[in-house]
Structures are given as C-alpha cells and as structure tokens.
Amino acid sequence: AQSVSQHNHHVILSEAASLELGCNYSYGGTVNLFWYVQYPGQHLQLLLKYFSGDPLVKGIKGFEAEFIKSKFSFNLRKPSVQWSDTAEYFCAAFSGNTGKLIFGQGTTLQVKP
Amino acid sequence: EAGVTQFPSHSVIEKGQTVTLRCDPISGHDNLYWYRRVMGKEIKFLLHFVKESKQDESGMPNNRFLAERTGGTYSTLKVQPAELEDSGVYFCASSRQAESTDTQYFGPGTRLTVL
C-alpha cells in the first residue's frame, strides 16, 4: 500500500539556521508529492507540489523541495528559517486514480528567536 | 474567494451521543474530501465526493459514520453513536478537479472530543 513517512516528529532550530525535513514515500507508479504547512491557529495550506518536470520545486516563503526518485524522497528545505516558520509541516502523496491525499505523520518545527 | 469553512470549530460530546459536522467547500469546487487526524497520528482520508456522489469512501472507519452532500454543495459528516476513539480533528478539503495537479484547499478543521 502507498505510504508516506516523515523522519522527524519535532525539530527545534534557532533563527537563521538551515532546515531540512525528510519525507519518503513508498509507491512504484507515478507519484505526485506535496508539502503542506499548518501555522498555529490556521488552516492547512499548500507550500509546494511536484508532479513532473524539474525535480527541484520552489514554493512559497522561500521553501523548496527536491524529488529524488531513486531514493523515494521529497525533502523540504529552507536555507534560513525565521521565527514565523514555526508550524507543523506535512508531506503528502496523491494517488491520482482516487483523488485522496496520503499524509505523513507531520513534523512540528519550533524556531527560537 | 472565500475558503473552505467548517462548523463547529470544536465539539465536546459524551460517548453514545450524536454529532454532525458541516463543511462548506469553495464555491464551484465539485470535489469535497473528509480527512481525520487522531491525536498523535497522521491525517487520514475518510471519503471523497464528486458533486453529490460518493467517489471513494474507503477510509470511513465503520457504519457509525455517515457522510452526505445533498445538492452537491455543503457536506455533513454524522457520527452516531460516538465512541471515545472518534476523538480527533476532522478536516474538510475541496478542489475544482480531482486531478493530481489540482490543489486541495483545507478548512480549519473541527476538533471533536468524545468523553
């Protein structure tokens, strides 16, 4: 069965530190991948998505993710985090036939000012 | 455009009671999804409507859960009777098309607590 796993459940960084959140998926077919973010008290919102083409995807707020097919990975990166990046981050995969998103467990990022 | 809205934002009920959650998708979005996050676990798919039809309800936990989308607009998710393990956050999402390139927009969720 298709699954998505996130390596870290809770990450604490200081402002200006670099961020990399791991995400791995298990699926042999065409995969469409997403990173969502939920800021405190807000809706889940899309950060970025990959469905084809350039494996390096740029999203909002300076985030990017790289799709590495050989490693079944789609890690999220940001060179320099800000306090306002404190949120929970979710990696997800889309199974095109069904329309449903399959989520990882989520990673809570706490950025200390 | 207005986003996906959900009502109520919080609900606290006792085991055995009935609760109905409501979701209003973005206007014009034919696809509506329900997801649930039990505390400490991942967000899990419950079901998918295309207009008023259930496209996929493979994630519904059991027959205590009933989802409807009469008229293809808003949707309700009823839990009857509620059990302790039903506690969690119920998210609704909508998209214009059920294609891999189409973004699903999420509502704020309803936090359900069953005592």
pLDDT higher than 80, residue B99: no
Distances (CA, A) of B103 to A55, A100, A104, B76, B109: 18, 11, 17, 22, 17
Structure confidence at residue B100 (pLDDT): 59
pLDDT higher than 90, residue A7: no
Question: Mind telling me how many Å the CA of B56 is from chain A's nearest CA?
Answer: 7
pLDDT digit string, tens, across residues A37-84 = 999 989 999 999 998 889 999 999 999 999 998 999 999 999 999 999
The reply to whether B62 touches chain A by the CB within 8 Å rule is no
Closest listed residue to residue A8, CA positions, set A80, A91, A108 = A108
Cα–Cα distance between A95 and A99 in angstroms, integer? Answer: 6
The reply to whether A33 touches chain B by the CB within 8 Å rule is no
Query: Cβ contact (<8 Å) for A43 and B3?
Result: yes
pLDDT digit string, tens, across residues B103-114 = 899 999 999 999
Mean pLDDT value of segment B79-105: 89
Residues B67 and B54: beta-carbon distance below 8 Å: yes
